[in-house]
Structures are given as C-alpha cells and as structure tokens.
Structure 1
Amino acid sequence: MSAAKNALPSDVVRAWQIGGCAPGTGQTGAGRRSRARGLHCGACCVSQKGAREEIADRANGHSSKFRKKRVALEKLRSVTHTCNMSHSRQAVFSLELEESQAMITDMRGRLQDYEAVREILEEAGRSKAQTADLCDAQLYLTKTDLASDAEFLAMVELINSQIFQSAAQIADFVDFESAAPHHAPLFVAGAKEKTSPLVGETLLVLLEIVRHRHYSFAL
C-alpha cells in the first residue's frame, strides 16, 4: 500500500488528504463517496490552479508583449517627432533660401537701374561738354574780324619794311673792320661754348672778328 501510495501523483494524494481519507484505508460506502468527492475537489483545485497559472502566464506574456509594443511605439513616436522637426527645419531653411534669392534678384535689378542712370548722367555730361565746345566754335566762326585780309597783309609788309630798315641802320652804324686774330683766354672759349646755342654760331664769329667794344649795340 505504501508503494501504491507513493506511485500516485502528489496532487491526488493531496486531494485525498483534503477529503479526509488516504489510499489503502479500506473504507467503503460513505468513505468511498467522501474519498470520491475529495478526489473530485482535488482535481478541480488542480485544474483551477493550472488554469490560473496558465492565465497568469498568458497575462505575463501579453504584458511583456504590450511593454515591447509600447517601447516600440515610443521609439516610433520619437523618430516621427525627429522627422517632423527635420521637415519643419527644412521648410524654414527653404523659406529663408527663397527669401534670400528674392532679395538677391531685387538687388541685382536695382544695381542694373543704377548702372543705367549712371550711364545716362555720364552721357548727359558728355553732351553738355560737347555742346559748350560747339557753341564756342560757332561763336569763333561767326565772330566779325576787326580787320580785313588786305589790312593784315599791309600790316605784315609794314613790319617787314621796318625790319629791313633797322638791319640797314645797324650795318651802317657798326664798323666791320677785321681785327687781328688772337688767342682767346680759356674762359672766353667756355663762354662761347655756352652762348652758342643761344645766339648762334655766326654771331659769335662776328663778335670775335669785328671791333665792337665801343658800340653799345654790340655789347
């Protein structure tokens, strides 16, 4: 009996103990019915315990899966938030870039306008200067001469006549007697060299050979 008791499952033995009997006691009738009820209650307890454990295991499994899904959802939300921020920043940068390009285009247009105005002002300045030159030339061309061409020719002939008369008087006034050749001092030679570009070689030769020390004209 002891061997048979040991061969039974521990859950059944525990159920018999709960029912108030033990295997191999030899009880019949009410004892058997009581033992049967104990076995049934023990089996029910075992089944309920197994069900509770299974439910707990499933609940734990679902809880673990739920936590994993929750963590994954949080990560997805974080990534989505980051992507949204990136898209927002990209949109802001795109807007700033468009504004900068529009500003550059506007500045280029203004620069072209300023260049056109500058060219117009420069052209106006040149036109004004040319107009002034043309006015001066027209005034010079339309100016009335103080004397006619014949009067100018008469004045030139008069000046030439006076020059010839002065030359004749000089020729009559100066004594062109040749002097004896002599050696001029060194300082005279230096003075001649420096004076030659101013008065000419011919006049220097005349001053050397003509007696002119008493004539203020020659001096």
Structure 2
Amino acid sequence: MALILNLETATTNCSVSLAEDGNLIALKEENSAGYSHAEQLHYFIEEVMGMAGKPLADLEAIAVSKGPGSYTGLRIGVSAAKGLCYALGIPLLATPTLDSLARQVSVTSGLIIPMLDARRMEVYSKVLDHNYTELRETKAEVLDENSYREYAEKGKVYLPGSGAEKCRDLFDDHNFEYREGLVPSAREMATLSYERFREGLFEDVAYFEPYYLKDFILQGKKSKTK
C-alpha cells in the first residue's frame, strides 16, 4: 500500500490531500486570493493526517505540485515537501500543475488546454487530448485572437483555469468552452502521484527545484532622483 501526501501550492489554492494507492482518503484546501500558504500549509498537513488517522511515519512518499505557477507558492510547497522527505527518509514526487488542472475536465472527445494566469495577457498552458495525453508541452505565451485557433478548427476545446478568463474577449469560435472557476487541487494529484510512484519517478530531494518556466524578477521601489 502506497500512502502518499500531496501538496498543491502553485496558485491561490492551498491544498493538501492524503491518498492510498491513488485513492483519496482525506482533503483539506482553501482557495484564497491572499496567498496564506505559509500560515496554512503545515496546519492543513496535520489536519489531513488526523482526519485519516494516520501518523506521518506511515507515509511512503511526499508529492508536490512542481509548477508552473506562483513563485512564492511553489517555494513554500517544495520547501515543506523537502523538509518532510528529509525528516521521514522517504522519496519526493513532483507532478505538473497543469496536469492536475486538466484532470478536472472529464470529456470523451476534444482537447483540453489548461491555463494559468501569468499576468497581463500571458498564460501558462499546455495541450492534452481527452485522455490527458500531452500533445504540446507547457509554454508561457501571450494570448491574441489567433491563439489555439488551429485546435478549435478541428473540434471542441476545453479551457480550464484562471487563464481562460482572458480568452472570452479574444476568441469568437464556438468550439471553445470555458471552465474559469477551476484551480489546481491536491485532489487530482492523488492519481498523478501514484502513477509516478509506481514508475519510480522520484526526484532528487537535494537538488529539485520548482518548474518556474519564467525567471522571477523582484521589482522594488524606484529610487527618487535629485
């Protein structure tokens, strides 16, 4: 039995789940625009383990959502995951953030393009078929009226995630279907992390870094010139 703790902190949703062999046992999450991950994550971990009646010592792996997403959110999640792995002597798993978002859309045909807001008119996105097989890798791209048109010309395209909100005013093709209210969750990570566990796709705890996709730029206050 593989008992895996899943941590999702790549967006505004602070989400923790516990799963056994890919089956969800417990879930605790809160989607807050205030990004309270630093305050809530460890509390959520304790609560999820308590809900399941399992001690941390029973865990066989820790899984973390690796990005892309919020720089700070990703750092918090990865730091917590690494700390637990070191303390418990168990392996680290990393799941793509956009994959867990895509799995919230269940369809029998068409394409799924999960997308996260990356500020202004830019999004993080990838393209998958209805079986969640990757057709195009994750990219950071600026949206315009021609974005994803080649996919919509072939059939239905589902757009889950915060980035989809930017598409309504750009896209006039009726084949686009929007799912703006969805956010990445540790619920869908349960299946993804177990797949990686079975395949032995473990990360190097010492050297693993989140998948930022873009360089982080710290913008400070402009100094006044005399």
TM-score between both structures, scaled by the size of structure 1? 0.15
In proportion to residue count, which structure has more strand?
2
Higher relative contact order (CA 8 A, sep 6+): 2
In proportion to residue count, which structure has more helix?
1
TM-score between both structures, scaled by the size of structure 2? 0.14
Question: Which structure's CA Rg is the greater one?
Answer: 1
